[in-house]
Amino acid sequence: MSDTIAPSGRISRALREPLLHFLFLGALIFVAAHQLEARREEKAARIVVDGRLVERIAALERAQSGVAPQGPQLERLVANYVDDEVLYREALRLGLDRDDEIIRRRLIQKLEFLQHDAAGELNVDDVALRAYYDAHPAKFTDPARVSFTHLYFSPDRGGDAAALTRARLARLALAAGDESAAGDTPPVAAGYDALTTTDARQLFGSSPFVDALDTGGIGQWIGPVRSGYGWHLLRIRERLPARAADFNQVRAEVRAEYLRDLTDAARRRQLDDLRVRYRVALAAPVAGGAS
Contact predicate 244/167, CB 8 Å = no
Q: What is the pLDDT of residue 280?
A: 75
| Confidence at 13, pLDDT banded by 50, 70, 90 | low
Contact predicate 170/200, CB 8 Å = no
Residues 255-266 pLDDT 10s = 989 988 888 888
Spell out the domain ranges in the chain.
17-44, 99-124+246-277, 144-241
Residues 16-66 pLDDT 10s = 666 655 666 676 676 666 666 656 655 666 788 888 888 989 998 888 888
Is residue 29 packed enough to be buried (19+ CB in 10 Å), middle (13-18) or exposed (0-12)? exposed
pLDDT of residue 1 exceeding 50: no
Distance in angstroms (rounded) separating the CA atoms of residues 255 and 48: 46
| Confidence at 160, pLDDT banded by 50, 70, 90 | very high
Nearest Cα to 253, choosing from 136, 154, 149?
A: 136
Specify the CATH number of the domain 144-241: 3.10.50.40
Phi (first) and psi of residue 124, to 5 degrees: -90, 130
The reported pTM is 0.49
Residues 182-209 pLDDT 10s = 899 999 999 999 999 999 999 999 999 9
DSSP 218: B
**Three-class DSSP category at 169:** helix
